[in-house]
Structure 1
Amino acid sequence: MYAIAVDVGGTFADLVLRDQQGHTFTAKVPSNYKDPLEMIIHGLSALAQELGFSVRELLSCTDKFIHGTTVGINALLQGQGAKTALITTAGFRDALELRRSQLSEPWDLRAVLPPVLVPRYLRLGLRERLDYRGVPLKALDKTQIPEIADFLRQEQVESVAVCLLFSWRNPAHEREFKELLQALLPQVFISLSSELSTQMGEYERTSTTVINARLSPVLSDYLLNLDSQLRDLGLRVPLSLARNNGGLTDMFQAKRCAVSTLFSGPAGGVKGGWALAHELDLPELVVADMGGTSFDVSLIRQGKMEVTPQAEVAGYPVQLPMLDIHTVGAGGGSIAWLDQGGMLRVGPHSAGAQPGPACYGLGGEEPTITDAALVLGLLDCSNFLGGRMNLDGKRALQAIETKIARPLGVSVPEAANAIYQVALSLMIDAVYLMTIKKGYDPRLFSLAAVGGALPLFATALAEGIGIRRVVIPAQAPVFCAQGLHYAPFQIEVSRGIYELLGEQPDFKCREAISELEEQADQELSRLGVASDRRCYLWSADLKYPDQHHEITLEFPCNVSDIRLWQRIGEAFHAVHQRRYGYSQPEKSLVLVNLRLLACEKENSFRTVAGQDTVGEAASSEICSVYRPGGLQEIRSYRWQDLKPGMGVEGPALIKRNFTTVFLEDNWRANLDQAGNLLLNLRKEGFNADGDGRSY
């Protein structure tokens, strides 16, 4: 039997198949926004052909099918989605437009804000009211609901977001409204804020609910079509969908909660980085993924993935836990351009897969990072995508000369090198933001360079940020799809408490813990996770009474421990002291939220020792690349010719299907027993402890 993971990106769709013995087979096909289902079938055909099967034979032998999708995020970025209305407590319908006072550019009062997702005429106030404790002050006015239904029907509204005041404390009014409205409008999708987030924050909850209402019908149609086509082709198992938090869910839940799949593709890359960190015993790891449209950075710290309780997507807050991923528009298809002042810029706009970079010969005329790499000699014209696509060097030269070189008064190779360096600086800034700006020393980290494009920049990026060890995994070109194989079924539930924390657990906390565990167990049972395969991770958001931001602490849930909450308080003061340089142990603490992460138990990992010796040299060829100062002849190796123990000294190129590694001066590459390429900086320097040893 086989397990298949599919990650659909902005430029390519990646597929990774694993058999029961752990062998992997991969496929990479160009993306097609007009018909994303067609490219998945195309990729499955490529896998089936490699195995000597038909697509029907392959799918009939598949017992797990995992999908990381960009349908939701693409619809949000492009302003698409179902026509949506918003129902709020009367008098609060403008919370969505008032937003927060904080601006992304605090000194620019003319900064453009993202469009309001629901126009004012579709934002309706409902006569009802709960107080801050969730106690009803005014019952739901049921006579208003037929009027609302008639208006929504007249406006041909497809989806409704419901976010009533203090429903995170008491969801009764939201549930009652949904039941009554659904009876009148059975074809309209209804999203309740209380089903998505039980945390305070009116604007954030409203934004999250509206995004979910806009995107869920779109994702639902896509998944139903995909499931139908795959079943017609022989698939017998239900689809599994990747979520923002690195776990999996089923199609039933994904159709109702599209907002939880916005980063399902990049989440696979973080999960893959987590697995790689365990396999290679690298507890501190920067996972950097450069695909066709973006450059994504995440961290593995102390062997754990970094999770943020909420994030901002395309300028809109999303109040759901998700992996902490920072993204910049620096992918292989990112376009190089000159601003009004004549300054060279790269991204964030991308040529995508169609028309793609100029060198694709599909009608693209804008110079991209891929065109620059081709002009510099870092890419092989005849071996792109494993030899299935020939690149047109003349078109790349022409695009760079017309758009960049001639206006700047430089040669084409100099312009291509400038594009390379600007793109590199964007990546260094992104890693800087995720490490140094957060107080982490990058010299203590290794770098996992993944995605089809990043190995061209890996050693320069590492050296630019102070990292001395780089890992390019065996499946680096399809790493997000590979990582999806490690994702477990996972459910995260939370409860807003917002009460002073006493030294002993009170009844409210005990009750919340019991209800959250029951809720998580019901969902895991529905997903088919056996009780002996479940694990639970509890955490709490706490703060001092006069603070705005919380600190999240993990804790072992043992409600019979009378000192549990005292221990949690002591841990909070210690973390606060370490993080901010002071603590106030004399103050009581506010317990803001309780959280439970329940999931399948993870698989154990076999630690792979990295080879760091130089054995017999691999065969190589001589090729010319442009470097500052002119053309330089360097050696070019084929990845498949390398064996553990063989060392490659930089400068050099290491080529394989779907990617190319550019090894800078003073770097050495070795292949480990698992097929990962390990790169180490050799020049003299200071390590993290400053003892002057060489690397």
Structure 2
Amino acid sequence: MYEIAVDIGGTFADFVARDKQGRALTVKIPSKREDPEETIISGLRDLAQKSGLKLKEFMPQIDKFVHGTTVGINALLQGQGAKTALITTEGFRDALELRRSQLSEQWDFGLPLPPVLVPRYLRIGLRERMDYRGVPLISIDQAQIAEIAEFLVQEKVESVAVCLLFACRNPTHEKEFKYLLQALLPNVFISLSSELSSQVGEYERTSTTVLNARLSPLLSNYLLEISNHLQDFGLKVPISIAQNNGGLTDLVQARKKAVTTLFSGPAGGVKGGWALAHELSLSELVVTDMGGTSFDVSLIRLGKMEVTPQSEVAGYPLQLPMLDIHTVGAGGGSVAWLDHGGMLRVGPHSAGANPGPACYGLGGAEPTITDAALVMGLIDAHDFLGGRMILDVEQAFKAIETKIAHPLGLSVPEAAYAIYKVALSLMIDAVYLMTVKKGYDPRLFSLAAVGGALPLFATALASGIGINKVVVPEMAPVFCAQGLHYAPFQVEVSSTVFEPLGESVNSNLQQTLLQLKDQADQEMSRLGITEDQRSYVWSADLKYPDQHHEISIELPCDVADFPLWQQLGQEFHAQHQRLYGYCQTEKSLTLVNVKLLVKEKEKIPSDQTEHYTILETPDDGMCSLYLNGKFQTLKSYRWKNLKPGMCLKGPAVIKKEYTTVLLEYNCQAYIDQFGNLLIYLGRDALNECQSG
């Protein structure tokens, strides 16, 4: 029997199959954005072939199928989605367009804002009203609903987002509206803000609901089609979908809540980093993932994944908890170009998988990072994607010469190296943004280099940010798919309180907490997770009365022994001191939200670090690379020939199926017992290989 994890990226699709003994089969193929179903079937067919079976024989042997998808995020970035209307409280239909009256770049007043996803004529004010405590003031005008339904039919609206004022305190009116409208328009998708994010923040809640309404019909159709398609080929188990928070859900929830899956693929990489950190006892780890389209950075701190309560996607707020991932357009397919001032730039736009980089020979004429790496000798033209593709060096050379080298007065190798260095600088900046700008010292972290392209940059990146230890996992080229194997089923629920923290709140809190627990338990039971398989994490969002943002305080307790409000206050002041260097204990506090995360109990990989006698490693030949202004001859190794304890000294190249590792001059590396490549830089390299 096999457990399958599939991550469909913007350029490549990764597949990992694990049998009951833990042995893994991997496949990496180009993505077909126009036909993701065919991409999945092609990858599964290759996995079946590697296992010695035909696809129809392989599929019934799958007992778990996890899918990380980019259908939702790709649709958003490409301006696709269902025709959507917005229903909000009368007098508040322009909240979506007023936004927060702030600029992403505070000094650039000409910076264009992302387009409003629902035009004003499709934003409808509903006659109803709740006060800030959730007490009904004006009942829903039921006669108006028939008028709204008639208008939606006339405009051929496919989806409706409903975000009523203070529905986060009392969702009764939203639920009533959905019930009445659904009876009139049974084929229209309806998304309620209270079912997505029951938290204060009218604009953020509205934006989240609109995004969900716009994307869910599209994702729903895709998931239904792929599920039926896989069943036709013999799949017997339901598909599990990865979420932004690193957990799993089923098709029922994923089809209704597309916004929870926007970053399901990259979330698998963070989960894989979490498992790697526990496996190697690395409490502080920077996970850097470079695929064909983007470069992603996330952190593992104190053995935990970093989570942000809300984020921004393509300029639109998303008021949902998700793993904290910073993304820049610096993937293997990112295009190199010259701006109006003649400055060399890389990304953020990508050549994708088709036509792809110029070297793919599919009609692409723009130079990319992949083309530069090929010209530099970092990529073997005859062994790309495990030999699946033969790259065209002449086309890469021509693209760089025409677009970059000739205008800048450089030789083609010089221009290729310049592209490499610019891409590297983008990565260094991204890591600094996630560490230094948050008050963390990157020198205290180790670096995990994953994705098909990042091992080419790993040691240069670590050196540029002062990190002395790099881990290239054995499954680095398919790491996001690998990480999905560790993802548990999980459910997150929340409730807005927004009251001064004190005894009066504490006395009413017990009922709210019990309701949250009951809500989450019902969903976990539906997912098939029994009570003994569940773990509970409670948290509360608090702030000073005059603050705009809150701080989330994790509570190490269950509902039955929820701490007194004084204990909550003490922990908030202590956390505020740690984060900002001061606290104001004389001030009262506001309890904004209470939250509950329920997840399937995880199997945490244990540290099994062993020490080896360091052995010299025979090389597998030599290769020529363009580095530091000249072509150099370096030793070349095959990863599959390396044994635990063998010591590799830089400069050298290590070739692996689907990727290549470049060791700089000041590096030494060896394979550990898990099959990971551990690289040490500078003085640490000397000490490690001398001590064994």
Q: TM-score range by the shorter chain?
A: over 0.9
| Residues 613 and 371 of structure 1: CA distance in aligned 2, closer, same or farther (over 3 Å) | farther
Quick one: distance in 2 between partners of 1:408 and 1:38? 42
1:629 deviates by 3.0
1:604 deviates by 3.4
| Residues 9 and 416 of structure 1: CA distance in aligned 2, closer, same or farther (over 3 Å) | same
1:174 deviates by 0.4
Deviation digits for residues 407-429 of structure 1 (CA, Å, limit 9, x no counterpart): 00011011000000000000000
1:683 deviates by 3.6
Quick one: distance in 1 between partners of 2:165 and 2:45? 51
Corresponding residue of 2:344: 344
For residues 114-133 of structure 1, the aligned pairs below 5 Å read 114-133=114-133
Corresponding residue of 1:101: 101
Quick one: distance in 1 between partners of 2:54 and 2:354? 28
Quick one: distance in 1 between partners of 2:40 and 2:304? 31
Contact kept? 2:174, 2:194, Cα under 8 Å: yes
Identity %: 70
Does the alignment pair 1:9 with 2:4? no
Corresponding residue of 1:361: 361
Q: Which secondary structure does the structure 2 equivalent of 1:506 belong to?
A: helix
Corresponding residue of 1:566: 566
Deviation digits for residues 609-663 of structure 1 (CA, Å, limit 9, x no counterpart): 1656521323321111111231111101000111011011011000011000000
Contact kept? 1:60, 1:234, Cα under 8 Å: yes
Corresponding residue of 2:636: 636
Corresponding residue of 1:690: none
Corresponding residue of 1:36: 36
Quick one: which amino acid aligns to residue 269 of structure 1?
Answer: G
1:560 deviates by 5.2
Corresponding residue of 2:253: 253
Does the alignment pair 1:309 with 2:309? yes
Quick one: which amino acid aligns to residue 5 of structure 1?
Answer: A
Quick one: distance in 1 between partners of 2:225 and 2:606? 39
Corresponding residue of 1:77: 77
Q: Which secondary structure does the structure 1 equivalent of 2:381 belong to?
A: coil
Quick one: which amino acid aligns to residue 460 of structure 1?
Answer: A
Contact kept? 2:668, 2:685, Cα under 8 Å: no
Corresponding residue of 2:59: 59
Corresponding residue of 1:209: 209
1:487 deviates by 0.1
Quick one: distance in 2 between partners of 1:275 and 1:558? 26
Corresponding residue of 2:620: 620
| Residues 559 and 179 of structure 1: CA distance in aligned 2, closer, same or farther (over 3 Å) | closer
Corresponding residue of 1:557: 557
| Residues 563 and 191 of structure 1: CA distance in aligned 2, closer, same or farther (over 3 Å) | closer
Quick one: distance in 1 between partners of 2:633 and 2:523? 59
1:292 deviates by 0.1
TM-align CA RMSD: 1.6
Quick one: which amino acid aligns to residue 676 of structure 2?
Answer: N
| Residues 355 and 22 of structure 1: CA distance in aligned 2, closer, same or farther (over 3 Å) | same
| Residues 610 and 334 of structure 1: CA distance in aligned 2, closer, same or farther (over 3 Å) | farther
Quick one: distance in 2 between partners of 1:468 and 1:184? 63
Deviation digits for residues 166-192 of structure 1 (CA, Å, limit 9, x no counterpart): 000000000000000000000000000
Quick one: distance in 2 between partners of 1:292 and 1:14? 12
Corresponding residue of 1:322: 322
Contact kept? 1:613, 1:670, Cα under 8 Å: no
Contact kept? 2:471, 2:677, Cα under 8 Å: yes
Q: Which secondary structure does the structure 1 equivalent of 2:281 belong to?
A: coil
| Residues 231 and 387 of structure 1: CA distance in aligned 2, closer, same or farther (over 3 Å) | same
Q: Which secondary structure does the structure 1 equivalent of 2:265 belong to?
A: helix
Corresponding residue of 1:662: 662
Q: Which secondary structure does the structure 2 equivalent of 1:620 belong to?
A: coil
Does the alignment pair 1:68 with 2:49? no
Quick one: which amino acid aligns to residue 300 of structure 2?
Answer: I
Q: Which secondary structure does the structure 1 equivalent of 2:160 belong to?
A: strand
Contact kept? 2:5, 2:65, Cα under 8 Å: yes
1:115 deviates by 0.5
With structure 2 as the length reference, what TM-score do the two structures score? 0.98
Aligned length: 690
Quick one: distance in 2 between partners of 1:694 and 1:50? 40
Quick one: distance in 1 between partners of 2:40 and 2:576? 48
Quick one: which amino acid aligns to residue 389 of structure 1?
Answer: M
Quick one: which amino acid aligns to residue 87 of structure 1?
Answer: I
Corresponding residue of 2:398: 398
Quick one: distance in 1 between partners of 2:691 and 2:398? 44
Contact kept? 1:540, 1:591, Cα under 8 Å: yes
Corresponding residue of 2:384: 384
| Residues 686 and 322 of structure 1: CA distance in aligned 2, closer, same or farther (over 3 Å) | farther
| Residues 113 and 160 of structure 1: CA distance in aligned 2, closer, same or farther (over 3 Å) | same
Corresponding residue of 2:421: 421
Corresponding residue of 2:646: 646
1:694 deviates by 12
Quick one: which amino acid aligns to residue 314 of structure 1?
Answer: A
1:587 deviates by 1.8
Quick one: distance in 2 between partners of 1:117 and 1:611? 57
| Residues 402 and 242 of structure 1: CA distance in aligned 2, closer, same or farther (over 3 Å) | same
Quick one: which amino acid aligns to residue 362 of structure 2?
Answer: L
Quick one: distance in 2 between partners of 1:102 and 1:686? 51
1:508 deviates by 2.3
Corresponding residue of 1:484: 484
Deviation digits for residues 336-388 of structure 1 (CA, Å, limit 9, x no counterpart): 00000000000000000000000111111000000000000111111111111
For residues 456-535 of structure 1, the aligned pairs below 5 Å read 456-502=456-502, 506-535=506-535
1:510 deviates by 0.7
| Residues 611 and 464 of structure 1: CA distance in aligned 2, closer, same or farther (over 3 Å) | farther
